[in-house]
Amino acid sequence: AQSVSQHNHHVILSEAASLELGCNYSYGGTVNLFWYVQYPGQHLQLLLKYFSGDPLVKGIKGFEAEFIKSKFSFNLRKPSVQWSDTAEYFCAVNSYGQNFVFGPGTRLSVLP
Amino acid sequence: DTAVSQTPKYLVTQMGNDKSIKCEQNLGHDTMYWYKQDSKKFLKIMFSYNNKELIINETVPNRFSPKSPDKAHLNLHINSLELGDSAVYFCASSPGTSGHLEEFFGPGTRLTVL
């Protein structure tokens, strides 16, 4: 069965700092990878996704993620965070015929 | 237009009651899901329906019963509510059951059982 881990439970940054959130998955076959964001009190929104092609994926709001197949990783990055990026971030994986598996989430707090 | 909608947004009820949460999607998707997000923000799939048929039922107590009257609706009925059922329940939909497809989430229903 697939599993998804996220390295950091809670990350605290100052505005303008760079961000990298780790995500690793356990499935060895072909996977599709996603990052979702959940702002306080809101539903999940898709930030970016990787299906195939260029392993460096650009998403909304200046986020990007890099798929490294050899490391089973799909880390999320942003060069300069803003206070409005404060949210919970979820990495998710699915593959053919399988349901989504979400990671446990990483809470990002950005201090103004 | 809201793509995936849920009602109610908040639900406060007593232990032992029976309640329902409704979900509708206007995206024409074939597959709908129910997720439970606990107090630690952990998301876990509960049910998956494809074209009105149940295709996955994770280890969920049988007090929880999904009902899909048509492809655009997937309601969640909960009998004999317990304190541990307090959580946020998210409905989602996707175009199909295979990979290469993202899921679109509803706004969530915060259930509080007293």
Q: How far is B16 from chain A (nearest CA, A)?
A: 27
Q: pLDDT, tens digit, for every residue of A68-108?
A: 999 999 999 999 999 999 999 999 987 766 667 889 999 99
- Whether residue A105 and residue B42 make contact (CB cut-off 8 A), yes or no, is yes
The predicted pLDDT at position B45 comes to: 82
Phi, psi angles (nearest 5°) of residue B18: -110, 135
Above 90 in pLDDT, residue B85? Answer: yes
Identify from A43, A49, A51, A52 which residue to disrupt to test chain B contact, counting B C-beta atoms within 10 A and taking the largest count. A43
Q: Which of residues 13-42 of B touch A (CB under 8 A)?
A: 33, 40-42
Judge whether B54 is closer than 8 Å to chain A, CB to CB. Answer: no
Above 50 in pLDDT, residue B100? Answer: no
Judge whether A51 is closer than 8 Å to chain B, CB to CB. Answer: yes
C-alpha count within 13 angstroms, C-beta hemisphere, residue B50: 10
Which neighbouring-strand residues pair with B24?
Answer: B5, B73
Above 80 in pLDDT, residue A67? Answer: yes
Contacts (Cβ under 8 Å, ≥6 apart) of A13 = A19, A81, A108, A109, A110, A111
Task: List the one residue out of A102, A87, A108 whose CA is nearest residue A35.
Answer: A102
The predicted pLDDT at position B2 comes to: 65
Q: Searching chain A, which residue's CA lies closest to the CA of residue B97? A: A97
Contact A81, A20 (CB under 8 A): no
Above 60 in pLDDT, residue B98? Answer: no
Query: Of A34, A44, A107, which has the smallest distance from its Cβ to B90's Cβ?
Result: A44
| A contacts of B105 (beta carbons < 8 Å) | 36, 43-45
> What is the 8-class DSSP label of residue B3?
S
Above 90 in pLDDT, residue B109? Answer: yes
What span, in angstroms and rounded, lies between the C-alpha atoms of B30 and B33?
Answer: 10
Q: Searching chain B, which residue's CA lies closest to the CA of residue A51? A: B100
The predicted pLDDT at position B97 comes to: 58
The predicted pLDDT at position B101 comes to: 60
Above 50 in pLDDT, residue B33? Answer: yes
Q: What is the mean pLDDT of chain B?
A: 87
| B contacts of A30 (beta carbons < 8 Å) | 99
The predicted pLDDT at position A13 comes to: 97
Q: pLDDT, tens digit, for every residue of B44-80?
A: 888 888 877 777 666 788 899 999 998 899 999 999 9
